[in-house]
Amino acid sequence: MSIQAFVIDDSAVVRKHLCETLTAGGINVLGSAADPLFAWPKMSAHWPDVIVLDVEMPRMDGITFLKKVMAERPTPVVMCSTLTERGCETTMQALSAGAVSFVTKPKMGLREFLSDRSNGLVEAVKAASRANLRAFSTPAARPAAAGIGTPALPRPAPRPALPSTSHSAMAETTDRVVAIGISTGGVQSIEVVLRQLDRTSPGIVMVQHMPEKFTASFAARLNTIVDMEVLEAKDGDRVINGRVLIAPGGKHMQLKRSGAQYVVEVRDGPLVNHHRPSVDVLLRSVAHCAGRNALGIVMTGMGDDGARGLKDMHQAGAYTAAQDEATSVVYGMPAEAVKHGGVDDVVPLHQIADWIGRSALKPLRSV
């Protein structure tokens, strides 16, 4: 049975191209509308499997509408956002409110992008149709959804080549490093984990699959709502207790050792597993540099990025975990990590922070 989609965008040109792209990709488009107020009665007659939703629209913005949908009739939503600073920040709010994923529309060359059948829209909608929305019912509760006509909520105030693995990583150190790989469904899920950690927690290096510009907004938002310091990583940043370093979109991030300290290296490089940043690139570097001093976790996401890197970490002596199926929005990356044999523990989302705390206190594993 084909996927049923509905498109909401205030631009008639954009709606036309999005509908054509979805149809060409084998997705049945039930209809389209210029804004949520027009869309709601149309969708009520025949509810879609996936909603493709613009972020900034007249009369009602995408976030307000998204909250209404999630409160009244939870449905996978793919956000369409323009690559602007405001668009990135708004998209982060939307993902936090329950959107499954997003597709970025360039400010320049929009018509060419919309006509390109490889722009990622079809894949995003297909992945969203398989999303486990029950995973969004987590201890990190969202604010109550606004009704039709309610104004949008204000934004919060600010507060390469893969390395070969080696077991010669620094064996004795008081520093533990936590490496996390996450993708579809990650914005809400990582918030649940980080809210339970504090500034005494081991330093975290993380890849969340996102394009350039979005990771800065992602890090800034997390930094306002969790105790740990959250930064978009820069080349040479130190990994220290109480700090989370997020790989910048469009760059690979690797762990390096500088004397007795851990730092990150941020570099250009080819796509790995169709991603840049790639989870495998990060985790393999952690296996090489930190070995059994590290903890590795693969969380919700589509595909298999991170499965091989987590196995390398496991073989290097690190304690490793994968998020369980019941709490994963998309049980792709964790399932592949388990299948590759690099997982010690399968852990539900709300217990991952506790797993980090317990594992960091375990004696170093012999390899």
Distance, CA of 22 to CA of 193 (rounded, Å): 35
Show Cβ contacts of residue 117 under 8 Å, excluding neighbours closer than 6 positions.
Answer: 21, 24, 25
Does the active-site annotation cover 305? yes
Active-site entry in 17, 209, 252, 314: 209
Q: Token match 């851990």: residue?
A: 262
Q: Is the dihedral of CA 360, 358, 202, 264 positive or negative?
A: positive
Active-site entry in 81, 129, 183, 285: 183
Distance, CA of 121 to CA of 284 (rounded, Å): 30
Distance, CA of 304 to CA of 345 (rounded, Å): 18
Does the active-site annotation cover 354? no
DSSP 271: -
Beta strands 345-347 and 294-298, pairing class: unpaired
Active-site entry in 305, 314, 340, 359: 305
Give the H or E element holding residue 78. strand 77-82
The answer to whether 279 and 333 have CB atoms below 8 angstroms apart is yes
Does the active-site annotation cover 81? no
What b-and-e string marks burial along 268-288, b requiring 16 or more CB atoms within 10 Å of the CB? eeeebbebbbbbbbbbbbbbb
Q: Which of these, 172, 168, 366, 161, lies nearest to 284 by C-alpha position?
A: 161
Query: Catalytic residues, which ones?
Result: 183, 209, 305
